[in-house]
Amino acid sequence: MSWGVGRVLRDRNAAFYIGGVVVSGFGSSAMALAGGVWAKSLTGSDSLAALTTFCVWAPMLLGPLIGTIADRVRSKPLLIWSNLSMAALLPALVLVDSEDRIWLLFAVLIVYGITIVLMDAAEAVLVAAAVPEELRGDFNGLRLTANEGMKLLAPLLGAGLFIQFGGQSVALLNAVTFALAAAAFTLLRVSEPRPARADRQPWTAQVSEGVRFLRTHPVLWRLVVAGAVTMGMAGVNGAALYAIVDSGLHRAPAFAGMLYTVQGAGSVLSGLFAGALLRRMPERVFTAAGILLFAVGVALRAVPSTPVVLVASAMIGAGLPCVLIAAMTAVQRETPGELMGRVAATANTLLLAPNPVFLALGAGLLPFVDHRVLIVTAGVVAAGSGVVLLGGGARKRGAPTEGEADVEAGEAEAEAEAGETAEADTEAGGTGTERTPGSPSTTAK
């Protein structure tokens, strides 16, 4: 199996881009943990601690609107200035030293969430311009691997910094990582045309254009819908995590950290080999296989056995990234450049928003429904979406796909031209020239 990670790292643009993602992801992962702990330590409120996560996630719902901004300006300067803006804003959190100033933490985290959505959209545009198409599957897999790797390491460092020096130190660390990411993006060599002006088009029409493109594209829409269902079931699985540890395995809550680590390791391995697998199979098949692997892993967590649950966690970690990698690779290939930001942001919203929604729903159901029923149901629903996606490539007998129809039309046209030529030769008394099968004149390109 051809492994393209080495080729990605040898590509100058891809290497600097991955470097920016690694340092930025490290700071973001550390901050994700510190925000909740910070709010809890200052206020003693579990609700306010949970609200910090909501502040970061909520802007995801505005993805189509925020993505429109990414389509109106060049992506490289947008990424650089977005990272520099966060590097300048985060040091303001050194002022958060009492419950009375906790509002400042929430305000910064809301801006943080908006900026992350904007940068994700801009990155999709930049990747399409800076990374060769044949490397994008490997690139997206490696990028996800880098993010997951940071999630394994950064929270530990963030927790240590918080204990020793307080939340301000984590905020300053994150500011430094944003500045380093801006420097990495500055080193990219990419030529971007100035986006076409759309002054005469209403803003609402610009936003809906990206949504409409995604909705009417048969390949992208199926991938995104299947991914959205799967990410929703991942939320249910996450809600049941502590019940699995406590009621299922009869272990201390801290054992959940071990499951997170094993799941993260599975994601790292999946990202490393995703590009090679995508070159061997259609995105639809790759995604469906990942969904089914995830679904089986979720259902196996109902078994009250520590070894089984650990293996199941690795399966979940390996299967879930396939959905995101395949969807974003397809978006980067199928979407016109002028719509890339909007379509990528809309796809991200549809893929990721179900996770916190169903996590909340699962948490609400846990007091009334046995956790094993919840996770087995989640596994069955996810498996159903994978089977539907896998069957989506099949077509009715005699009904060609759009691509096949184009080829058949081209062949028919070529045959008609050949017939006309032969007829003309006959009328002129000539013998005509015999064409061998597969020659350029009779084969549609």
Residue 403's H or E segment, with its range, is helix 402-427
Q: What end-to-end distance do the CA atoms of the chain give, in Å?
A: 29
Using an 8 Å Cβ cutoff, are 345 and 210 in contact?
yes
Cα 339 to Cα 215: distance, rounded to the nearest angstrom: 13
Q: What is the pLDDT of residue 294?
A: 95
Tell me the pLDDT tens digit for each residue of 77-117.
Answer: 888 999 999 999 999 999 988 888 889 999 998 998 898 88
Cα 123 to Cα 121: distance, rounded to the nearest angstrom: 5
The full DSSP string for 421-444 is: HHHHHHHTT----PPPTT-TTTS-
Q: Which of 15, 22, 3 is nearest to 275 (CA)?
A: 3
Torsion of CA 281, 282, 286, 287, to 10 degrees: 180
Q: What is the pLDDT of residue 415?
A: 44
DSSP letter assigned to residue 44: -
Q: What is the pLDDT of residue 395?
A: 41
The pLDDT mean for the chain works out to: 78
Q: Where do the H-state alpha helices sit in 61-135?
A: 63-72, 75-89, 102-130
Cα 104 to Cα 94: distance, rounded to the nearest angstrom: 10
SS (H, E, C) 152-188: HHHHHHHHHHHHHHCHHHHHHHHHHHHHHHHHHHHCC
pLDDT band, residue 443 (cuts 50/70/90): very low
pTM more than 0.95:
no
Q: Which of 107, 47, 24, 74 is nearest to 338 (CA)?
A: 74
Structure tokens at 321: 């990234």
In angstroms, what CA-CA distances link 34 with 100, 141, 164, 171? 18, 27, 12, 9
Q: What is the pLDDT of residue 376?
A: 95
Q: Which of 140, 68, 54 is nearest to 355 (CA)?
A: 54
Q: What is the pLDDT of residue 47?
A: 66
> Using N-to-C axis directions, what is the helix angle for 340-352 and 354-365, rounded to 10°?
10
Structure tokens at 214: 């995604």
Q: What is the pLDDT of residue 60?
A: 81
Looking at residue 231, its amino acid is M
Tell me the pLDDT tens digit for each residue of 356-392.
Answer: 888 888 878 888 888 899 999 999 999 999 999 988 6
Q: What is the pLDDT of residue 197?
A: 61
Question: Is a pLDDT exceeding 80 seen at residue 421?
Answer: no
Domains of the chain from N-terminus onward: 1-188 (1.20.1250.20), 204-395 (1.20.1250.20)
Q: What is the pLDDT of residue 8?
A: 72
Cα 79 to Cα 102: distance, rounded to the nearest angstrom: 28
Cα 206 to Cα 65: distance, rounded to the nearest angstrom: 9
Q: Which of 141, 174, 401, 394 is nearest to 273 (CA)?
A: 141
Q: What phi and psi, each to the nearest 5 degrees, are found at residue 197?
A: -75, 145
**Residue with more model confidence, 366 or 202:** 366
Using an 8 Å Cβ cutoff, are 188 and 125 in contact?
no
pLDDT band, residue 433 (cuts 50/70/90): very low
Tell me the pLDDT tens digit for each residue of 225-279.
Answer: 999 999 999 988 888 888 888 888 888 776 876 887 788 888 888 888 887 888 8
Using an 8 Å Cβ cutoff, are 330 and 351 in contact?
no
